[in-house]
Amino acid sequence: MADLLKEEYPQDPHLKRLENLGLGNLQQLLTDKKVVGQHRRENVGMVLVLDASFERLNELLKSLLQNISVYRGAVNSKAAVAVCLGSSETEIERELRNLVKRSFLSEKLIDDGRWFEFQPVVLEYVRYKAGDQRSAHQQAINYYQSIAKQQPWQTKDDIQEYLEIFYHFYQLADYDSAFEAIWHCNDFLNLRGYYANQVELYGQLVNKSSEIDDRQNWNYRASLISLGSAYDSLGQYERAIAFYQQSLDIAKEIGDIRGESNSLIGLGNAYDSLGQYERAIAFYQQSLDIFKDIGDIRGESNSLIGLGNAY
């Protein structure tokens, strides 16, 4: 409110000027019937001010705000240009700084330049105003694909673009493409011990696939096994068993022999970790028999390793 008054009335930024801006005076704002209720007062009052401030922006600023709201976290001018086609980076950075002055964004200087981010309540407001953001999400995906780092990766920062690609595909309800984005990094996440991240990402995919009953989709079954493996690595063996069993049941139902054997190995691993070696041996043996039948040498060797560990 102070920022709004100082910009419109720099010589006399008095609270009484709010009435000229369509907000009434401060007393009216605080006693308005729309601002009744202790649990709602601050949020509703803020929306009235945000509405007035937002409507004073030109179309470029409105579009810029709404489009960059698809991003998670801070953005720089390059990321902003990617979702605001037709404007130069210099022009976009100038307008981003203009939005900082208007209190819609905050700015921070890092070694690689200026970064801009929303305050949480402003982000929620702008996303609400934006409505359908499918186009901006797709443009964000294109941007991250253009700057994604190639292997070898050393830290999780090196795969951050793939995590963002996952997020935007997920927002578009394109769950197969979201799976492909994270599957591309699966070995890295596994070998580097980022099991909690695997649980979060594959958990989202499993929940959605369960909702739409997508059991014919290989990605769903692979997500179940990956989720089981992540919980196994975290020492949460009972949860791992539940997901392995779910993948096994689906694989049997649809006749996915290889999926069935992979689920059996997962169950063997979890029961081995629990010290239930006889049960582990039984699952490993079942998987070994299947791999022999289908001529999968690699799977056969994995089953033999499991049997050796259990014995």
Q: What is the DSSP string of 228-241?
A: HHHHHHTT-HHHHH
Q: Domain residue spans in the chain?
A: 2-55
For the segment 194-245, what is each residue's pLDDT rounded down to a tens digit?
Answer: 999 999 999 999 999 999 888 999 999 999 999 999 999 999 999 999 999 9
- Is the pLDDT at 280 greater than 80, yes or no? yes
φ, ψ dihedrals at 75, nearest 5°: -130, 155
pLDDT category at 112 given cuts 50, 70, 90 is confident
For the segment 40-54, what is each residue's pLDDT rounded down to a tens digit?
Answer: 445 556 777 788 888
- Is the pLDDT at 37 greater than 50, yes or no? no
Prior bond to 120 cis, omega within 30? no
Closest Cα to residue 80, out of 52, 113, 54, 103? 113
Say what the pTM is.
Answer: 0.82
- Is the pLDDT at 34 greater than 70, yes or no? no
Count Cβ neighbours within 10 Å for each residue of 266-293 and write b for 16 or more, e otherwise: bbbbbbbbeeeeebbbbbbbbbbebbee
For the segment 136-181, what is each residue's pLDDT rounded down to a tens digit?
Answer: 999 999 999 999 999 999 999 999 999 999 999 999 999 999 999 9
CB burial of residue 17 (10 Å; 0-12, 13-18, 19+): middle
- The full length of the chain comes to 311
Locate all alpha helices (DSSP H) within 148-276, ordered by sequence: 160-171, 175-183, 186-191, 195-212, 218-233, 237-254, 257-273
